[in-house]
C-alpha cells in the first residue's frame, strides 16, 4: 500500500492541468509547437532559482513565472537583495498572490501567447521607464509564463525605447537571448519574430501607427516624446 501511495504521489503532478498546458502550448496563429525550454523554468531549491535568474543588465532582470512552489524562493531573493527597490512586471496571462512581493507587481495581461497589442507594449515601455528613471537604485523584474519569450521581447524593446541600445532592436534581442542562454530562433514563435520587426519599424519611422491620443511617426525620439507627455 505504501508503494502504491508513492507511485500515485509521483505521477499526480504530471497529470495536473498546469503540467498539461506546458506540454501542449502552441502558437495559435501558426500551430507551431512552443519551443521546448522547460529546463529553463524548472527548479525546486533557492540555489536553482538563482541559476535561472537572467540579468540583462544590473537593473533589468527576467525571472521564471512565480508558481506557488517557486514564489517563496523568488520573493526571498528579491526582498533580501533589493528591498523596496524592485518592481515585478507580469506580462503573462495569469495573476497570482502578490503579497509575498509586498504587492510590488504590475500586471499587464492579454490573451494569447504571441504578442500583446502594440499599444500595450508601449504602455509597458512607459511604465518600465517611469520606474527605472525615478531612482538609480530601482530594478525592473520581468516575467511571462513558460519560455521567457514575451519577457525577452519586452526587454529588447525597452532597451531601444530608453536609448540603452543604439544598434537596433535586433541587436538588443540578440543580447537578451545571450543572457538567457538560448539561440534567438529558438525563443520566439514565428508571429513573435514578425512582431519584433513591427516594433523596429515603429522605432525607425518605417511605419506609422495610430494609437488613441497618440500618433507615432518619425524617429525613436518622437516615439519616446509622445509617450512621455
The full set of domain ranges for the chain reads 37-227
Which among 72, 110, 66, 67 has a CA at the least distance from the CA of 88? 66
Residue 105: the pLDDT is 97
The count of residues in the chain is 229
Residue 114: the pLDDT is 60
Q: What CATH code would you report for 37-227?
A: 3.90.190.10
Which residues have CB under 8 Å from 146's CB, separation 6+?
22, 25, 34, 37, 38, 41, 65
| DSSP string of the chain, one letter each residue | -HHHHHHHHHHGGGGSHHHHHHHH-B-TTT-PBPP--GGGS---SHHHHHHH-EEEETTEEE-----TTTHHHHHHHHHHHHGGGEEEEE-SS-----GGGTT-EEE---SSSS---HHHHHHHHHHHHHHHHT-TT-EEEEE-SSSSHHHHHHHHHHHHHTTS-SS-HHHHHHHHHHHHTS-HHHHS-HHHHHHHHHHHHHHHTSS-EEETTEEE-SSHHHHHHHHT-
Q: Are 100 and 78 in contact (CB under 8 A)?
A: no
Per-residue pLDDT of the chain (229 residues; tens, 9 = 90+): 554 444 334 434 433 333 333 333 444 445 544 443 333 334 445 566 666 799 999 999 999 999 998 999 999 999 999 999 999 999 987 899 999 999 999 998 776 656 667 778 888 999 999 999 999 999 999 999 877 888 998 999 999 888 865 568 888 999 999 999 999 888 888 878 888 888 888 887 776 665 544 433 333 444 443 444 3
Question: Cα-flanking dihedrals φ and ψ of residue 149, to 5°?
Answer: -65, -50
Residue 201: the pLDDT is 83
Residue 76: the pLDDT is 92
Residue 10: the pLDDT is 41
Residue 218: the pLDDT is 36
Amino acid at each position: 500500500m505504501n508503494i502504491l501511495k508513492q507511485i500515485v504521489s509521483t505521477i499526480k503532478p504530471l497529470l495536473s492541468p498546469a503540467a498539461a498546458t506546458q506540454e501542449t502550448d502552441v502558437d495559435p496563429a501558426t500551430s507551431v509547437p512552443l519551443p521546448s525550454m522547460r529546463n529553463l523554468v524548472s527548479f525546486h531549491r533557492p540555489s536553482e532559482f538563482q541559476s535561472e535568474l537572467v540579468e540583462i543588465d544590473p537593473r533589468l532582470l527576467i525571472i521564471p513565472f512565480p508558481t506557488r512552489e517557486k514564489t517563496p524562493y523568488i520573493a526571498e531573493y528579491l526582498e533580501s537583495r533589493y528591498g523596496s527597490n524592485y518592481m515585478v512586471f507580469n506580462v503573462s496571462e495569469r495573476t497570482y498572490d502578490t503579497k509575498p512581493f509586498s504587492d510590488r507587481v504590475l500586471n499587464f495581461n492579454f490573451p494569447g501567447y504571441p504578442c500583446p497589442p502594440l499599444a500595450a507594449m508601449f504602455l509597458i515601455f512607459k511604465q518600465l521607464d517611469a520606474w527605472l528613471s525615478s531612482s538609480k537604485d530601482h530594478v525592473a523584474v520581468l516575467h511571462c509564463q513558460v519560455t521567457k519569450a514575451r519577457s525577452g521581447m519586452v526587454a529588447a524593446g525597452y532597451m531601444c525605447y530608453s536609448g540603452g541600445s543604439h544598434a537596433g532592436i535586433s541587436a538588443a534581442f540578440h543580447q537578451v537571448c545571450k543572457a538567457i542562454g538560448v539561440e534567438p530562433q529558438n525563443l520566439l514563435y514565428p508571429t513573435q519574430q514578425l512582431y519584433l520587426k513591427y516594433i523596429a519599424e515603429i522605432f525607425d519611422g518605417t511605419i506609422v501607427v495610430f494609437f488613441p491620443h497618440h500618433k507615432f511617426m518619425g524617429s525613436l525620439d518622437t516615439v519616446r516624446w509622445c509617450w512621455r507627455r
